[in-house]
Structure 1
Amino acid sequence: MRPAYPLSSKRKIPDHIQRPDYATDGIPKSEKKAYASPPEMHGPEVIEKLRTVCRMSREILDLAAAALRPGTTTDEIDEIVRNATIERNAYPSTLNYRNYPKSLCTSVNEVVCHGIPDQTCLKEGDIINLDISVYYQGYHMEPIQLARSTTNRRNLFVPRECLDKAIALCRPGALIRDLGKTMSVRTYTGHGINTSFHSPPDIPHYAKNRAMGTMKPGTIFTIELSGFLFQASLQMIHLGPNGRQVHWPDNWTATRTNGRWSAQFEETIMCFDGPAVLVLISWS
């Protein structure tokens, strides 16, 4: 993969839409405070609000996925996501987060994650990951993610199965470090998400990690599965040997140097009396 420039102009968000603290200058100031404190706990009174954001996110994901076909550009997907988000009076969480220029991440083939929508034209058989996040009424839900391909469907079952096994371990009192037993990638982690886009706890994706603490009722966090196809790991599932990972000069797009393809799935979890999966990503 290579970037297909020029990028379109940054799409504007109407003034009436509630914005996160980084929307203007790109600096997520709330995250600095969040990482200086224990993980936020949320009671049952926020459940319905979170479910509303999750349903909204799923609707936006479905609209974006419906537009995936040979000949579509990833920038066109960005416009669909931006429009669908503001129609719901919400803000696309990725937009201007640490100066990220678009309303979602579109990671194609060997792009592991954080691909920036551009003029890349999708071809028959491509694998694309749609990473969609929504900010609404003071809460982020992230990432709503779909890995999709017209000709590589069987390969996508592996990362989805790994993610489901990790979710099955989630319950109040479970050790955070135990999630790494179902995965084997060190590059990225899951994380807390709530009123801040990223917050404690960090969720390592490899065995024998040193993460401290247990899952507590009211904690909201993501589990992220993406990586080498056929080599099961929670964060990333890639096709063939690992190879080396590099970032493009845009400071976001992460790819494999060997050109092997990647697929990614991710869920948002809230621990309550038992594991409460707020978002379940289905795919076909």
Structure 2
Amino acid sequence: MPVTLKSAREIELMRAAGRIAATVLDELRAVARPGVTTGELDALACERIRELGGRPAFLGYRGYPACICTSVNEQVLHGIPGKRVLRDGDLLSLDVGVEYRGLYVDAAVSFVVGSPNSLAQRLVAAAEGAFRAALAVAYPGRRLSDLGAAIEAYVRAQGFSVITGYSGHGVGLDLHEEPSVPNTGPAGRGIRLRPGMTLAVEPMLSAGGPETVVADDGWTVSTRDGSLTAHYEHTIWIGSEGPVILTAR
């Protein structure tokens, strides 16, 4: 499947979808306290995405049963919301996809629920820092793997691991499009970035090893060694002057 370059009109629709995603993530973060269940967060997300004019892009996607992903502690991504009660000090990753008038965006954030936790907070900060490192090289003419090399170098410098087997992706006309956006190097490989490309860039980090396992539910991905993880994601547009975050909070 070829990489699709988005028109100015499509970028504006993605901006609108991005505002919905950003608003919902902010609202979820505000109510994610000890004692709240992940299912309650999902119910709020479903309601608010629709109230704001969007459609929950994850719901029903390849059979996924919820509007958002809620991954806790050792869970890397695709955690299914349900009866799990958040506890003080949990590291929670929230991932949301929004479709608005036929255009899609994808975004995620990780944070500590309740009381601060030094390791978890460092991991969360490293996930965002890794995204920023990729953003700094996401300019027209650069190679796709330059983003992954920047992510990997940043993560390793913080003393953490990059989760293996998962990557970012193109997004826009569909929730997942070409190309795959790596989280590791080496630099100088892959297609060149071009104005009009829209990418979901999403570093996934582990405080321990990089290997993962998939739960019996067929969705939830966790670290094999049970170590903490963090996930940070934005949808970006490669503009002629450089990258623009479409899901900025």
If the length of structure 1 is used for normalisation, what is the TM-score? 0.78
Runs of at least 5 residues in structure 1 that lack an aligned partner in the other structure: 1-34, 229-238
Aligned 8 A contact 1:202 1:211 in 2: no
- Equivalent-residue separation in structure 1 for 2:211 and 2:105 (angstroms): 30
CA contact (8 A) 2:10 2:103 kept: no
Q: Higher Cα Rg: structure 1 or 2? A: 1
Q: Which amino acid aligns with 1:102?
A: A
| Structure 1 CA distance for aligned equivalents of residues 28 and 13 of structure 2 | 23
Aligned position for 1:164: 132
Counterpart check, 1:226 vs 2:209: no
The answer to whether the 8 Å contact 1:73/1:121 transfers is: yes
SS at match of 2:39: helix
What SS does the aligned partner of 1:86 have? helix
* RMSD over aligned Cα atoms: 1.6
Matched, 1:135 2:135: no
Q: Does 1:82 align with 2:82?
A: no
Structure 1 residues 109 and 71, CA gap change in structure 2 (3 angstroms):
same
2:8 partner letter: P
Q: How does 1:16-95 map to 2 (within 5 A)?
A: 35=1, 38-95=2-59
Whether 2:180 is the aligned partner of 1:202: answer yes
What SS is found at the alignment partner of 1:146? strand
Q: Indicate which of 100, 108, 111 corresponds to 2:72.
A: 108
Return closer, same or farther for 1:98/1:67 CA change in 2, 3 Å cut-off: same
Aligned to 2:190: 212
Q: 1:125 aligns to what SS in structure 2?
A: coil
Give the whole-Å Cα distance in 1 for the aligned partners of 2:189 and 2:71: 28
Percentage of matched positions with identical amino acids? 31
Deviations 1:84-126 (A, max 9, x none): 0111232101101110000000000000110000100000000
Aligned match of 1:190: 168
- Corresponding residue for 1:178? 146
Higher relative contact order (CA 8 A, sep 6+): 2
1: CA distance, partners of 2:245 / 2:47: 27
Question: What SS does the aligned partner of 1:222 have?
Answer: strand
Letter in 2 for 1:40: T
What is the number of equivalent residue pairs in this alignment?
A: 233
Aligned partners of 2:176 and 2:221: how far apart in 1? 19
Q: Which runs of 5+ in 2 are unaligned?
A: 153-161
Q: Is the 8 A contact 2:201 2:235 kept in 1?
A: yes
Structure 2 letter corresponding to 1:254: V
Match of 1:270 among 233, 237, 242: 237
Pairwise CA distance, 1:209: 7.3
1:35-57 deviations in Å (ceiling 9; x for gaps): 2xx21111223332221111111
Give the C-alpha shift of residue 68 in structure 1: 0.5
**Which letter does structure 2 place at the counterpart of 1:248?**
A
Deviation at 1:187, TM superposition (A): 1.1
Contact 1:247 1:255 in 2 (8 A): yes
Q: Give 1:220's aligned amino acid.
A: T
